[in-house]
Amino acid sequence: MMKIVADMDVPFLQGVFEPYAEVVYKEGRLISRADVMDADVLIIRTRTRCGEELLEGTEVKMIATATIGLDHIDMDYCTRKGILVHNAEGCNAGGVMQYVFSALYGVAARKFVKLDGCTIGIIGAGHVGSRVESMAEYLGFNVLKCDPPRAAAEGPEGFCSLEYLLANSHVVTMHVPLDETTRGMADENFFTLMKPGSIFINASRGEVVKESALMEAMPKFGGVIIDTWCNEPDVNEELIEMVDIATPHIAGYSFQGKQNGTAATVQAVAHRFGIEPLYEFFPETDMEGHEPILLDLRGKNQGEIAAVFQYNYPIFTDDFRFRMEPGKFEKIRTEYQYRREIYVD
C-alpha cells in the first residue's frame, strides 16, 4: 500500500486518501526525514521545506503542495532525483484579489485618499495579478502591468517596464513568485522610483521586499499594506508598527481558495497513482453560508464601495488581531476562519 505524509492543516483532506493509502498527518514545519523515509507522496503547504536535507535517501516520488508558490521546494534537487512536484496554480487568486481591494479601500478611507482616476500598477500578471486587473478595470482604475515572462512570451503590448510602472502608479501591488529574479526586487531604487503619496501592497512573498529599504522609504508613502513577511513566522515587529495594514500571510485564505487548493492537490496525486475515484475530487462541504458573493458596485461612490468591501471582509479585524499578538503568527493562520470570496459580473 502506498504511503502519504501530509500536513495536518491542509483543509478538507482527512479521510480522502485513507481507503487507498496509509496516511500520516503531521504539523507541516515538523515533518522530518524520518517521517518520510518510506513515503511515496508528500502533501504539504509552505511550512515544509523540501530539499536534500528532508528528501535524500527517501522513497518520495511526488510532492503536492496545496499552494500557488514553489519557493519552499528545491526544484533543481527534485528534478535531479525524478521527484514530481505539483502546485495548486491559481487556487487562491480570488481571495487575494478580495484582500487587495478591501485593504486598499480601507486604507484610503482612513487616510482620506481619493482613488478616482488613480492608476494601479500590478507587478506580476499571473493568476492573481489577472484577477486584480479585472477588478481594477471594473472599478474604473487605470491599469499598468509589468510581467517580463509574459511580455516575452506574448509580446510587449499591454505591458510596461518596472521603472515606468513605479513612476506612474498611485498604487503598486506585488503578485510575483519568489525566485532568483524577484528576491529583493523591491529595494532602495524601487522605492525611490515610486510616486510620493503612493500606496504599496505586498501580498506575494515577503522576500521580494527588502524590508530595511521599505522602512527607510516609509515617510513618502500614502499607505503601506503588508501580508507577507521576511523570515515568517519570526516577523519584523518594528515594521508591523509602521505599516497601515499588517496581516499574517492570510490574503488567500478564502473558503473557495482552500477548496480549490485541496482539490487540485488530491486530483494530481490521484492521477499520478491511478486512484480513479479521486480523479475529479472536490471537497464535499456544507456550502450554506460559504457561497461566493456577487457584488454590484456600478454607480457607487468610493465611500459606498469601501463600505461594501469592509462588510464582506472586515480586514481591520485581521490587522488588529495580528498587531496584538504578532508572536502568534502561525496560531492565527491555523485557526483562521476562511472568508467567502466576492465576484462581479
Q: What is the per-residue pLDDT for 200? A: 98
- DSSP-based three-state secondary structure for 296: coil
The structure's pTM equals: 0.92
Q: Which residues contact 109 (CB under 8 A, 6 or more apart)?
A: 302, 303, 306
Q: What is the per-residue pLDDT for 69? A: 85
For the residues 289-305, what does the mean pLDDT come to?
92
- Residue 27 to residue 35: CA distance in whole angstroms: 11
- How far from the centroid of its chain's Cα atoms is residue 203's Cα? 6
pLDDT digits (tens, 9 = 90+) for 32-77: 999 999 999 999 998 999 999 999 999 999 999 999 889 899 999 9
Within a domain: residue 273? no
Within a domain: residue 191? yes
Within a domain: residue 265? no
- Residue 29 to residue 49: CA distance in whole angstroms: 8
pLDDT digits (tens, 9 = 90+) for 235-261: 999 999 999 999 999 999 999 999 999
Amino acid at 314: P
Are residues 302 and 31 in contact, defined by beta-carbon separation less than 8 angstroms? no
- CA separation, residue 79 to residues 68, 103, 274, 321 (Å): 19, 39, 22, 41
Task: Return the active site residues.
Answer: 205, 232, 249
pLDDT digits (tens, 9 = 90+) for 148-177: 999 999 999 999 999 999 999 999 999 999
Measured N-to-C along each axis, helices 93-111 and 302-312 cross at an angle, to the nearest 10 degrees, of 130
Last residue of a domain, one of 87, 122, 139: 87
Last residue of a domain, one of 87, 114, 139: 87
Measured N-to-C along each axis, helices 93-111 and 127-138 cross at an angle, to the nearest 10 degrees, of 50
Within a domain: residue 203? yes
Same domain, 27 and 118: no
The DSSP result for 73-92, as a single string, is B-HHHHHHHT-EEEE-TTTT
Within a domain: residue 335? yes
Same domain, 197 and 337: yes
Same domain, 71 and 109: no
Same domain, 99 and 74: no
Within a domain: residue 292? no
pLDDT digits (tens, 9 = 90+) for 79-125: 999 999 999 999 999 999 999 999 999 999 999 999 999 999 999 99
Same domain, 98 and 75: no
Q: Which residues contact 47 (CB under 8 A, 6 or more apart)?
A: 7, 27, 28, 29, 72, 330
pLDDT digits (tens, 9 = 90+) for 307-334: 999 999 999 999 999 999 999 999 999 9
Same domain, 200 and 329: yes
Q: What is the per-residue pLDDT for 274? A: 97
pLDDT digits (tens, 9 = 90+) for 13-35: 999 999 999 999 999 999 999 99
Within a domain: residue 167? yes
Within a domain: residue 133? yes
Same domain, 176 and 191: yes
Same domain, 82 and 138: no
Q: What is the per-residue pLDDT for 289? A: 66
Run of H or E residues at 334: helix 329-334
Residue 43 is part of a domain; what is its CATH number? 3.40.50.720
Cell numbers found for residue 129:
495579478
The DSSP result for 109-120, as a single string, is HHHT---TT-EE
Same domain, 245 and 340: yes
- Residue 292 to residue 10: CA distance in whole angstroms: 21
Task: Domain of residue 29: give its range.
Answer: 2-87
- Residue 319 to residue 340: CA distance in whole angstroms: 18
- How many structural domains comprise the chain? 2
pLDDT digits (tens, 9 = 90+) for 298-313: 999 999 999 999 999 9
Q: What is the per-residue pLDDT for 74? A: 96
Q: What is the per-residue pLDDT for 345? A: 82
Same domain, 60 and 159: no
- How far from the centroid of its chain's Cα atoms is residue 9's Cα? 16
Same domain, 66 and 149: no
Instruction: Map 198-265 to HEC letters.
Output: CEEEECCCHHHECHHHHHHHHHHCCEEEECCCCCCCCCCHHHHHHCCEECCCCCCCEHHHHHHHHHHH
Same domain, 183 and 49: no
Residue written as grid cell 457584488: 295
